[in-house]
Amino acid sequence: MRFGVLTGGGDCPGLNAAIRAIVRGSVARGHEVVGIRHGWRGLASNETTPLDRRAVAGILPRGGTILGTSSYDCFREENGVQLLTAATRALGLSGVIAIGGEGTLGIAHRLHAEHDYPVVGVPKTIDNDIAGTDVTIGFDTAVHICTEAIDRLHSTAESHNRVMVVEVMGRNTGWIAAASGVAGGADVILVPEVPSAIEDVADHIRARHDQGKDFSIAVVAEGYQLTRRSGEQDDPVVQEHDAYGYARLGGIGRVVADELTSLTGFETRVTVLGHVQRGGTPTARDRFLATRLGLEAVDLASAGAWGRMAAVRGNDIVSVPLAEATGSRRDVPSGWIEAGRVVA
Ligand code: F6P
Protein backbone atom coordinates (compact mmCIF):
# COMPACT_ATOMS: atom_id res chain seq x y z
CA MET A 1 0.00 0.00 0.00
CA ARG A 2 1.03 3.62 -0.39
CA PHE A 3 0.10 6.07 2.35
CA GLY A 4 0.26 9.85 2.35
CA VAL A 5 1.09 11.52 5.67
CA LEU A 6 0.41 15.15 6.56
CA THR A 7 0.45 17.50 9.54
CA GLY A 8 -2.22 20.23 9.68
CA GLY A 9 -3.16 23.20 11.87
CA GLY A 10 -0.90 24.60 14.59
CA ASP A 11 2.34 22.70 15.11
CA CYS A 12 3.41 21.15 18.40
CA PRO A 13 6.33 19.18 19.80
CA GLY A 14 6.03 15.47 18.93
CA LEU A 15 4.83 15.77 15.31
CA ASN A 16 8.16 14.57 13.95
CA ALA A 17 8.13 11.60 16.32
CA ALA A 18 4.71 10.66 14.90
CA ILE A 19 5.90 11.06 11.28
CA ARG A 20 8.94 8.89 12.02
CA ALA A 21 6.79 6.16 13.57
CA ILE A 22 4.36 6.24 10.63
CA VAL A 23 7.18 5.95 8.10
CA ARG A 24 9.08 3.24 9.94
CA GLY A 25 5.94 1.31 10.90
CA SER A 26 4.76 1.41 7.28
CA VAL A 27 8.12 0.33 5.87
CA ALA A 28 8.24 -2.55 8.37
CA ARG A 29 4.92 -3.74 6.94
CA GLY A 30 6.12 -3.42 3.34
CA HIS A 31 4.24 -0.19 2.57
CA GLU A 32 5.47 3.08 1.02
CA VAL A 33 4.96 6.58 2.44
CA VAL A 34 4.64 9.92 0.67
CA GLY A 35 5.04 13.08 2.78
CA ILE A 36 2.46 15.75 1.96
CA ARG A 37 3.76 19.23 2.65
CA HIS A 38 1.81 22.04 4.39
CA GLY A 39 -1.21 20.02 5.49
CA TRP A 40 -4.20 19.48 3.19
CA ARG A 41 -2.96 22.35 1.01
CA GLY A 42 0.02 20.29 -0.17
CA LEU A 43 -2.26 17.57 -1.45
CA ALA A 44 -4.34 20.05 -3.43
CA SER A 45 -1.21 21.71 -4.87
CA ASN A 46 0.84 18.52 -5.30
CA GLU A 47 3.63 19.43 -2.87
CA THR A 48 4.93 16.04 -1.79
CA THR A 49 8.16 14.36 -0.83
CA PRO A 50 9.06 10.66 -0.65
CA LEU A 51 9.69 9.44 2.91
CA ASP A 52 11.77 6.38 3.70
CA ARG A 53 13.56 5.23 6.85
CA ARG A 54 16.56 7.42 6.12
CA ALA A 55 14.44 10.54 5.45
CA VAL A 56 13.17 10.44 9.03
CA ALA A 57 16.50 9.67 10.72
CA GLY A 58 17.36 12.13 13.50
CA ILE A 59 13.97 13.86 13.66
CA LEU A 60 12.67 12.21 16.87
CA PRO A 61 13.83 14.99 19.26
CA ARG A 62 13.10 17.86 16.87
CA GLY A 63 10.18 20.23 17.51
CA GLY A 64 7.93 21.48 14.70
CA THR A 65 7.18 19.33 11.67
CA ILE A 66 9.52 18.41 8.81
CA LEU A 67 6.46 18.46 6.52
CA GLY A 68 5.32 21.98 7.33
CA THR A 69 1.70 22.74 8.14
CA SER A 70 -1.22 24.98 7.19
CA SER A 71 -4.86 25.48 8.09
CA TYR A 72 -6.02 25.00 4.47
CA ASP A 73 -9.62 23.76 4.35
CA CYS A 74 -10.70 22.12 1.07
CA PHE A 75 -14.36 22.68 1.99
CA ARG A 76 -13.83 26.45 1.90
CA GLU A 77 -12.02 26.46 -1.46
CA GLU A 78 -13.59 26.27 -4.90
CA ASN A 79 -13.17 22.69 -6.21
CA GLY A 80 -11.08 21.96 -3.10
CA VAL A 81 -12.45 18.46 -2.53
CA GLN A 82 -12.19 17.53 -6.24
CA LEU A 83 -8.56 18.72 -6.32
CA LEU A 84 -7.77 16.65 -3.27
CA THR A 85 -9.40 13.45 -4.46
CA ALA A 86 -7.85 13.78 -7.93
CA ALA A 87 -4.38 14.29 -6.39
CA THR A 88 -4.89 11.28 -4.13
CA ARG A 89 -5.63 9.12 -7.19
CA ALA A 90 -2.76 10.62 -9.22
CA LEU A 91 -0.28 9.88 -6.42
CA GLY A 92 -1.55 6.31 -6.21
CA LEU A 93 -2.33 6.68 -2.51
CA SER A 94 -4.28 3.93 -0.76
CA GLY A 95 -5.13 6.49 1.90
CA VAL A 96 -3.89 9.40 4.01
CA ILE A 97 -2.78 9.54 7.64
CA ALA A 98 -3.66 13.03 8.92
CA ILE A 99 -1.97 14.24 12.10
CA GLY A 100 -3.96 17.17 13.40
CA GLY A 101 -6.30 18.84 15.83
CA GLU A 102 -9.89 19.97 15.65
CA GLY A 103 -9.64 21.59 12.18
CA THR A 104 -7.54 18.96 10.39
CA LEU A 105 -9.44 16.03 11.88
CA GLY A 106 -12.74 17.77 11.15
CA ILE A 107 -11.77 17.95 7.46
CA ALA A 108 -10.67 14.29 7.58
CA HIS A 109 -14.02 13.32 9.05
CA ARG A 110 -16.05 15.23 6.46
CA LEU A 111 -13.95 13.84 3.60
CA HIS A 112 -14.57 10.33 4.85
CA ALA A 113 -18.23 10.75 5.77
CA GLU A 114 -19.30 12.76 2.72
CA HIS A 115 -16.90 11.45 0.03
CA ASP A 116 -15.87 8.01 1.30
CA TYR A 117 -12.29 9.32 1.36
CA PRO A 118 -9.70 6.89 2.82
CA VAL A 119 -8.21 8.68 5.84
CA VAL A 120 -7.19 7.89 9.42
CA GLY A 121 -6.37 10.48 12.08
CA VAL A 122 -3.74 11.01 14.77
CA PRO A 123 -4.67 13.55 17.50
CA LYS A 124 -2.29 16.40 18.25
CA THR A 125 -2.74 19.77 19.90
CA ILE A 126 -1.13 21.33 22.93
CA ASP A 127 -4.70 22.30 23.94
CA ASN A 128 -5.53 18.60 24.65
CA ASP A 129 -9.20 19.13 23.85
CA ILE A 130 -9.88 16.39 21.27
CA ALA A 131 -12.71 14.04 22.25
CA GLY A 132 -12.28 10.27 22.10
CA THR A 133 -8.72 10.27 23.45
CA ASP A 134 -7.39 10.84 26.97
CA VAL A 135 -4.48 12.90 25.72
CA THR A 136 -3.08 14.48 22.55
CA ILE A 137 0.47 14.85 21.23
CA GLY A 138 2.12 18.10 22.40
CA PHE A 139 0.16 18.61 25.61
CA ASP A 140 2.77 17.17 27.96
CA THR A 141 5.56 19.32 26.51
CA ALA A 142 3.46 22.49 26.74
CA VAL A 143 2.59 21.73 30.38
CA HIS A 144 6.26 21.15 31.13
CA ILE A 145 7.25 24.50 29.57
CA CYS A 146 4.51 26.40 31.44
CA THR A 147 5.32 24.72 34.75
CA GLU A 148 8.94 25.72 34.43
CA ALA A 149 7.88 29.31 33.67
CA ILE A 150 5.61 29.37 36.74
CA ASP A 151 8.48 28.07 38.89
CA ARG A 152 10.70 30.87 37.61
CA LEU A 153 8.04 33.51 38.14
CA HIS A 154 7.60 32.42 41.76
CA SER A 155 11.06 33.59 42.77
CA THR A 156 10.81 37.01 41.17
CA ALA A 157 7.21 37.49 42.35
CA GLU A 158 8.36 36.83 45.91
CA SER A 159 11.30 39.24 45.70
CA HIS A 160 9.07 42.09 44.58
CA ASN A 161 5.82 41.26 46.42
CA ARG A 162 4.00 41.23 43.11
CA VAL A 163 1.03 39.53 41.60
CA MET A 164 2.15 37.69 38.46
CA VAL A 165 -0.44 36.85 35.83
CA VAL A 166 0.71 34.14 33.40
CA GLU A 167 -1.28 33.79 30.19
CA VAL A 168 -1.05 30.34 28.61
CA MET A 169 -2.67 28.85 25.48
CA GLY A 170 -5.98 27.03 25.48
CA ARG A 171 -8.56 28.67 23.25
CA ASN A 172 -11.64 26.72 24.27
CA THR A 173 -10.43 24.66 27.19
CA GLY A 174 -8.04 25.17 30.08
CA TRP A 175 -6.08 21.90 30.11
CA ILE A 176 -2.66 23.59 29.99
CA ALA A 177 -3.62 26.20 32.60
CA ALA A 178 -5.06 23.56 34.95
CA ALA A 179 -2.18 21.08 34.65
CA SER A 180 0.65 23.61 34.80
CA GLY A 181 -1.17 25.63 37.45
CA VAL A 182 -1.43 22.61 39.74
CA ALA A 183 2.10 21.39 38.92
CA GLY A 184 3.57 24.88 39.39
CA GLY A 185 1.61 25.67 42.54
CA ALA A 186 -0.32 28.63 41.12
CA ASP A 187 -2.59 30.48 43.56
CA VAL A 188 -5.29 31.12 40.98
CA ILE A 189 -6.23 29.15 37.84
CA LEU A 190 -8.66 30.70 35.36
CA VAL A 191 -10.05 28.55 32.53
CA PRO A 192 -12.80 28.96 29.93
CA GLU A 193 -14.85 26.09 31.40
CA VAL A 194 -15.28 27.74 34.82
CA PRO A 195 -16.76 31.26 35.02
CA SER A 196 -14.71 32.40 38.06
CA ALA A 197 -15.66 35.94 39.09
CA ILE A 198 -12.75 38.38 39.11
CA GLU A 199 -13.93 39.86 42.45
CA ASP A 200 -13.56 36.39 44.04
CA VAL A 201 -10.06 36.12 42.60
CA ALA A 202 -9.20 39.54 44.07
CA ASP A 203 -10.60 38.49 47.47
CA HIS A 204 -8.51 35.32 47.41
CA ILE A 205 -5.34 37.25 46.62
CA ARG A 206 -6.10 39.84 49.30
CA ALA A 207 -6.69 37.05 51.85
CA ARG A 208 -3.30 35.54 50.96
CA HIS A 209 -1.64 38.90 51.53
CA ASP A 210 -3.50 39.30 54.85
CA GLN A 211 -2.03 35.96 55.90
CA GLY A 212 1.48 37.21 55.15
CA LYS A 213 1.87 35.82 51.58
CA ASP A 214 2.55 39.04 49.77
CA PHE A 215 2.91 37.63 46.27
CA SER A 216 0.57 35.59 44.12
CA ILE A 217 0.67 33.71 40.82
CA ALA A 218 -2.44 33.57 38.63
CA VAL A 219 -2.47 31.32 35.54
CA VAL A 220 -5.05 32.25 32.94
CA ALA A 221 -5.95 30.34 29.78
CA GLU A 222 -6.20 32.60 26.71
CA GLY A 223 -9.85 31.60 26.22
CA TYR A 224 -10.99 32.61 29.74
CA GLN A 225 -13.80 35.15 29.57
CA LEU A 226 -13.65 37.82 32.22
CA THR A 227 -16.62 37.28 34.53
CA ARG A 228 -18.07 39.50 37.27
CA ARG A 229 -20.02 38.59 40.37
CA SER A 230 -23.07 40.13 38.74
CA GLY A 231 -22.87 37.30 36.18
CA GLU A 232 -21.77 39.68 33.44
CA GLN A 233 -19.23 38.03 31.13
CA ASP A 234 -16.96 39.55 28.47
CA ASP A 235 -16.26 37.89 25.12
CA PRO A 236 -12.88 36.15 24.74
CA VAL A 237 -10.08 38.61 23.92
CA VAL A 238 -9.38 38.31 20.18
CA GLN A 239 -6.35 39.98 18.58
CA GLU A 240 -7.30 39.40 14.95
CA HIS A 241 -8.67 36.84 12.49
CA ASP A 242 -6.43 34.90 10.09
CA ALA A 243 -6.99 34.29 6.35
CA TYR A 244 -9.32 31.36 7.16
CA GLY A 245 -11.44 33.45 9.56
CA TYR A 246 -9.87 31.74 12.57
CA ALA A 247 -9.75 34.01 15.66
CA ARG A 248 -6.28 34.66 17.13
CA LEU A 249 -6.76 34.90 20.86
CA GLY A 250 -4.43 36.66 23.29
CA GLY A 251 -4.53 39.54 25.73
CA ILE A 252 -6.74 38.24 28.54
CA GLY A 253 -3.69 38.26 30.85
CA ARG A 254 -3.46 42.05 30.57
CA VAL A 255 -7.20 42.44 31.17
CA VAL A 256 -7.07 40.24 34.29
CA ALA A 257 -3.98 42.07 35.58
CA ASP A 258 -5.63 45.49 35.16
CA GLU A 259 -8.75 44.29 36.97
CA LEU A 260 -6.71 42.83 39.83
CA THR A 261 -4.69 46.03 40.16
CA SER A 262 -7.80 48.13 40.44
CA LEU A 263 -9.55 45.71 42.83
CA THR A 264 -6.58 45.03 45.14
CA GLY A 265 -4.14 47.89 44.62
CA PHE A 266 -1.29 45.34 44.45
CA GLU A 267 1.46 45.70 41.89
CA THR A 268 0.73 43.27 39.06
CA ARG A 269 2.79 42.07 36.06
CA VAL A 270 1.85 39.97 33.04
CA THR A 271 3.78 37.23 31.24
CA VAL A 272 2.36 35.87 27.97
CA LEU A 273 4.04 32.57 27.16
CA GLY A 274 2.65 32.42 23.60
CA HIS A 275 4.29 30.19 21.01
CA VAL A 276 7.17 29.28 23.32
CA GLN A 277 4.70 26.64 24.51
CA ARG A 278 4.66 25.05 21.08
CA GLY A 279 8.37 25.14 20.33
CA GLY A 280 11.43 23.03 21.03
CA THR A 281 12.09 19.43 21.78
CA PRO A 282 9.20 17.17 22.88
CA THR A 283 9.26 15.53 26.32
CA ALA A 284 9.95 11.81 26.54
CA ARG A 285 6.25 11.25 27.23
CA ASP A 286 5.22 13.09 24.04
CA ARG A 287 7.77 11.18 21.94
CA PHE A 288 6.51 7.90 23.37
CA LEU A 289 2.87 8.86 22.84
CA ALA A 290 3.49 10.07 19.26
CA THR A 291 5.33 6.86 18.43
CA ARG A 292 2.55 4.64 19.76
CA LEU A 293 -0.23 6.67 18.09
CA GLY A 294 1.70 6.75 14.80
CA LEU A 295 2.09 2.96 14.82
CA GLU A 296 -1.61 2.50 15.59
CA ALA A 297 -2.47 4.75 12.64
CA VAL A 298 -0.36 2.51 10.38
CA ASP A 299 -2.23 -0.55 11.68
CA LEU A 300 -5.56 1.16 10.96
CA ALA A 301 -4.50 2.20 7.47
CA SER A 302 -3.05 -1.25 6.71
CA ALA A 303 -6.38 -2.80 7.70
CA GLY A 304 -8.31 -0.27 5.60
CA ALA A 305 -10.05 0.95 8.78
CA TRP A 306 -10.64 4.39 7.25
CA GLY A 307 -12.60 7.03 9.13
CA ARG A 308 -10.99 6.19 12.47
CA MET A 309 -8.52 7.97 14.78
CA ALA A 310 -5.74 6.44 16.88
CA ALA A 311 -6.46 7.29 20.52
CA VAL A 312 -5.40 6.73 24.13
CA ARG A 313 -7.66 5.15 26.73
CA GLY A 314 -5.96 4.72 30.09
CA ASN A 315 -2.69 3.00 29.29
CA ASP A 316 -3.97 1.49 26.07
CA ILE A 317 -3.81 2.65 22.49
CA VAL A 318 -7.20 2.17 20.86
CA SER A 319 -9.08 3.66 17.93
CA VAL A 320 -12.32 5.63 17.75
CA PRO A 321 -14.44 6.85 14.83
CA LEU A 322 -13.41 10.30 13.58
CA ALA A 323 -17.08 11.21 14.06
CA GLU A 324 -16.66 10.70 17.82
CA ALA A 325 -13.38 12.62 17.94
CA THR A 326 -14.76 15.64 16.11
CA GLY A 327 -18.35 15.63 17.40
CA SER A 328 -17.62 17.45 20.64
CA ARG A 329 -14.85 19.08 22.62
CA ARG A 330 -13.29 17.60 25.75
CA ASP A 331 -13.32 19.92 28.77
CA VAL A 332 -10.99 19.86 31.78
CA PRO A 333 -12.52 17.69 34.54
CA SER A 334 -13.77 19.91 37.37
CA GLY A 335 -11.59 17.86 39.76
CA TRP A 336 -8.46 19.32 38.21
CA ILE A 337 -9.55 22.88 38.98
CA GLU A 338 -10.74 21.82 42.43
CA ALA A 339 -7.33 20.23 43.12
CA GLY A 340 -5.68 23.56 42.31
CA ARG A 341 -8.03 25.38 44.70
CA VAL A 342 -7.53 22.98 47.59
CA VAL A 343 -3.75 23.12 47.55
CA ALA A 344 -3.40 26.86 46.72
O1 F6P B 1 -4.82 25.11 18.99
C2 F6P B 1 -3.52 25.22 19.43
C3 F6P B 1 -3.15 26.67 19.64
O4 F6P B 1 -1.84 26.70 20.12
C5 F6P B 1 -4.11 27.44 20.54
O6 F6P B 1 -3.87 27.22 21.89
C7 F6P B 1 -3.86 28.85 20.10
O8 F6P B 1 -4.99 29.68 20.32
C9 F6P B 1 -3.63 28.70 18.64
O10 F6P B 1 -3.17 27.40 18.43
C11 F6P B 1 -2.64 29.71 18.10
O12 F6P B 1 -2.60 29.57 16.72
P13 F6P B 1 -1.57 30.36 15.79
O14 F6P B 1 -0.27 29.60 15.82
O15 F6P B 1 -2.21 30.31 14.46
O16 F6P B 1 -1.41 31.73 16.34
Pocket test for ligand 1, best of 171, 239, 244 (most atoms within 8 A of CB): 171
What pLDDT does 10 receive?
Answer: 96
Question: Given this model, what pLDDT does residue 164 score?
Answer: 98
Residue 242: what pLDDT? 84
Q: Which atom of ligand 1 is nearest to the CA of 102?
A: 1
What is the three-state SS of 163-198?
EEEEEECCCCCCHHHHHHHHHHCCCEEECCCCCCEH
Residue 280 phi, psi (nearest 5): 85, -175
Please give the chain's pLDDT, 344 residues, in tens: 999 999 999 999 999 999 999 999 999 999 999 999 999 999 999 999 999 999 999 999 999 999 999 999 999 999 999 999 999 999 999 999 999 999 999 999 999 999 999 999 999 999 999 999 999 999 999 999 999 999 999 999 999 999 999 999 999 999 999 999 999 999 999 999 999 999 999 999 999 999 999 899 999 999 999 999 999 999 999 999 987 778 999 999 999 999 999 999 999 999 999 999 999 999 999 999 999 999 999 999 999 999 999 999 999 999 999 999 999 999 999 899 899 888 88
Calculate how far, in angstroms, residue 203's C-alpha sits from the geometric centre of ligand 1.
32
Ligand 1 atom 15 nearest Cα: 10
Which of 102, 126, 220 to mutate for ligand 1's pocket (most ligand atoms within 8 Å of CB)? 126
The whole model's pTM is what?
A: 0.97
- Residue 247 CA to ligand 1 center (angstroms) comes to 9
Q: What residues are annotated to the active site?
A: 127
Ligand 1 centre distance from Cα of residue 276 (Å): 11
- Determine the distance separating the centroid of ligand 1 and the alpha carbon of 181, expressed in angstroms: 19
What span, in angstroms and rounded, lies between the C-alpha atoms of 116 and 111?
7
Per residue in 281-292, pLDDT (tens digit) is: 999 999 999 999
Burial 251-263 (b: 16+ CB within 10 A, else e): bbbebbbebbbee
Residue 176 CA: nearest ligand 1 atom is 6
Which residues does a 6 A CB cutoff place in the pocket of ligand 1?
10, 101, 125-127, 169-171, 222, 248-249, 278
Do the bridges between strand 316-321 and strand 308-313 make them parallel or antiparallel, or are there none, so unpaired? antiparallel
pLDDT tens digit sequence for 85-108:
999 999 999 999 999 999 999 999
